[in-house]
Structure 1
Amino acid sequence: MSNRINQFINKKFLIYAFGIFFCYSYYGILQEKITRAKYGIKREVFTYSMSLVFVQCIINTLFALVQIFVVNRKSEGQVHDTTTHFFYGFSALSYLTAMVSSNRALQHVSYPTQVIAKSCKPIPVMIIGVFYARKRYSILKYFFVFMIVLGVGIFMYNPNKTSGAPIQQSRTFIGELLLLLSLTCDGFTGAFQDRMKSEHGTKPGHMMLWMNAWSSLILFVALTITGELWQFIDFVNRFPFVISFILQFSAMSAIGQLFIFLTITSFGPLACSLITTTRKFFTVLFSVILFGNSLSNQQWLGSGLVFLGLSLDMFYGKQPPIKKPLL
């Protein structure tokens, strides 16, 4: 009997792992295809990062509604959400700023660079946790984070950078600033989500629903004011085939989030972190193979240090942080 249960659990784990791998690997391929392709005779570039995130947030909102009112109601019944919209609104603002900045950075840096930089997400979360939430972390945690920082530094450092074309130098610098902004906002999003969970016990489905709903509202206002919405509509009218890519991109994001929630619920955050970290490495590999984003030996070394630091942190750095007593 126990063998059958173990076989079922292993099959379930493999299904969830495959779902995360497939959804986010395909998500990464579509993201690079949409944002870095040249369109039409004039070789136009897709520059509508806010619009792309807007569609993604709408699909995520609809998906979360189905999850809450169909799936969760059947399994757990309706759960009352006490989280204030103040938290949802500010976390949505930092969440969508991180996403838009990350997407826009792809206009200036390669996709592997974006993936490696975004792998540093634990760093701003940790820094803001220390100064904002007064948390303490173990020495091992600091060491693993240092390893990640060192790996990113090796990956990003280019000794011939000053000898390149000024325009390319400027583009790369802008891309790096956008990634830094994205990481900073990731840190604030993590801080808001921690408070929502600790003070209100916010469920993943409600968090996904209201963060994406608020993000959709904020983006709609921003798109209308800036005029990007009409430019985006004109672009997809001229290149209608891109609509299919955008809808697939958004669907992969929503389904991938579901698999992540299922993995955390069934097997815990450690198993989920193992899957997502491994997936990031293969995302870089697929980008190199499919889009010709070749990496130097130095960049492979930096990538290795980043993923090694993330992997060690998963296994040895997961002790819960301790809040410092107020003086």
Structure 2
Amino acid sequence: MSGSSVLYSVVDSWVGSLTINLLCYSTVFIPGYFLIQYFKKSKYIERAGLGTLSKLITSCVYGQGYDKLVTTDLPPAPRTPAPERSMSSKCLQLIFCFLGLQASYLTWGVLQEKIMTKEYQSSEGNIGHFRDSQFLVFVNRILAFLLAATYLGFTRQPRHTAPIYKYSYCSFSNIMSSWCQYEALKYVLAKASKIIPTMIMGKIVSEKKYEYFEYVTAVLISFGMTMFLLGSTESKGSYMSFDAFTSNWQGELFSQHKMSSVQMMCGVNLFSCLFTTTSLMQQGGFSTSFNFMLTYPAFFWDSLILSICSATGQLFIYHTISLFGPVVFIIIMTIRQGLAILLSCLIYSHPVSLMGVLGIFMVFMAIFLRVYCSHRLKQLQQRRAGGDTTKV
């Protein structure tokens, strides 16, 4: 094999594509990092004017809560605590989030597999395979950003206080997670449970504490999903760390800055569009993908529906994380993974063994156990609180 052939095979592999993408993203990250450090070290906030550029820089670097650092020594006004929701209200919200996520991402998953693994045929009878995972990430994110920005422009939202650059972290991890999923579909059909890395990331990012039964059920769910994957596909793959960081970082931003789910959606997708657009322009991905779209019109409609499902699903993602936290969200998405594999097996005739069936049964049993233990723990805590009140 010649040197040029070896070089082409390396560049065309997922390792080569990942390396090139990271280098392209670094052309945004590195200048952005040094600009933020410059504005912070130069104490730009103390000399910021009232112009549009000054407001933009302040929002990106410091956030809209900067005024209390400059104009007043009074303590910030306390936030009005949100009213406690009843158990029936929580259940209805959880069912709404569950159904919304399942409908959006089951449809998205079927189309995702079709785009990345199936052939497209043109009107002239030519056969083509679409290969640019990053373009699909861009298509998903640009529609989600436009929808979120339009909604924010016409509705009243809570004051946005978070520094805008903080969205870039979960945006990057979200891009990499999506890219890995698309790349994996060139070779594999599913990925394992993400609950354990999500809990680990929660302890690292937010210093959260979990009950013993949460660790036990997380292991059972992961083991069940592993059995299911081993019994339902010929090859397996897992890209869990990016997803784990994304959901926990978003949960931390929701907790600290109390933004709305649409504000989160807009901020994350803003940076996702910036990263993917920069990389696609540098690699010439736009022209290649648009040519493929013109040659195979069916790909255009698949991409459009995929983007709509992704944008809708993101609304449910941010709403779920803001209400119930990252672990509950990951459990819902773990169920979605199991259902997606079953749906894929039905549509694309992938075999499922007895071990796969036992694995998905174990997943659902572990989820029911987790719900039961959580409910019992809340009952015990309420009884103890009631006993302490009576003694007083």
TM range (shorter): 0.7 to 0.9
Given the alignment, which residue of 49, 53, 64 partners 2:133? 49
2:197 counterpart (124, 143, 151)? 124
Q: CA deviation at 1:233?
A: 1.7
> Are residues 287 and 185 of structure 1, via their aligned partners in 2, closer, same or farther at CA, if it must alter by over 3 Å?
same
| Code of the aligned partner of 1:32 | E
Match of 2:280 among 208, 212, 223: 223
CA distance 1:259–1:133, shift in 2 (3 Å): closer
Structure 1 residues 16 and 129: CA distance shift in structure 2, 3 A: closer
Looking at structure 2, the residues matched to 156 and 294 of structure 1 have their Cα atoms a distance apart, in angstroms, of 11
Counterpart amino acid of 1:78?
Q
Check whether the contact 2:120–2:298 (CA below 8 A) recurs between aligned residues: no
Q: 1:283 to 1:226 in 2, by over 3 A?
A: same
* Alignment CA distance shift 1:316-1:246 (3 Å): farther
- 1:108 correspondence with 2:187: yes
Q: Which residue of 1 aligns with 2:222?
A: 149
Q: What amino acid maps onto 2:105 in structure 1?
A: Y
User: Does residue 69 in structure 1 map to residue 148 in structure 2?
Assistant: no
Aligned to 1:256: 313
Deviations 1:201-253 (A, max 9, x none): 22211110010111011011111223322221221121122111101111122
Shift, 1:82, TM fit:
1.0
1:81 lines up with 2:165 in the alignment? no
Runs of 5+ consecutive residues of structure 2 not aligned to the other structure: 1-88, 379-392
Q: Structure 2 matches for 1:1-327, cutoff 5 A?
A: 19-40=100-121, 43-70=127-154, 73=155, 77-110=156-189, 113-114=190-191, 117=192, 120-157=193-230, 172=235, 176=237, 179-180=238-239, 183-259=240-316, 279-317=336-374
- Go from structure 1 to structure 2 and tell me whether the alpha carbon gap of 1:20 and 1:197 turns closer, same or farther (over 3 Å shift): closer
* Structure 1: distance between partners of 2:223 and 2:289: 39
3-state SS of the aligned residue for 2:161?
coil
8 Å contact from structure 1 (residues 277, 310) kept in 2: no
CA distance change for structure 1 residues 262 and 200 in 2, over 3 Å: closer, same or farther?
Answer: closer
Q: Which residue does 1:165 correspond to in 2?
A: none
Contact 1:281 1:307 in 2 (8 A): no
Aligned partner of 2:272: which letter? S
1:107 deviates by 0.7
Q: Distance in 2 between matches of 1:271 and 1:197?
A: 15
Contact map agreement 1:95 1:189 (CA 8 A) in 2 = yes
Deviations 1:20-75 (A, max 9, x none): 443332222211221111123664322111100100001111121233233xx2xx
SS at match of 2:344: helix
Where relative contact order (Cα < 8 A, 6+ residues apart) is larger, the structure is 1
The TM-score with structure 1 as length reference comes to: 0.74
Cα offset for 1:264? 7.9
Residue type of the alignment partner of 2:150: V
Is 2:171–2:268's contact at 8 Å kept on the other side of the alignment?
A: yes
Partner Cα distance (1:284, 1:64) in 2: 30
**Unaligned stretches of 5+ residues in structure 1:** 1-7, 162-167, 321-327
In the alignment, the residues of structure 2 paired with residue 104 and residue 92 of structure 1 have an alpha-carbon distance, to the nearest angstrom, of 18
Give the TM-score taking structure 2 as reference length. Answer: 0.63
Q: CA RMSD in A?
A: 3.5
Partner of 1:3: none
Change (3 A) 1:220 1:16: same
Amino acid at match of 2:141: C
1:164 equivalent in structure 2: none
Letter in 1 for 2:142: I
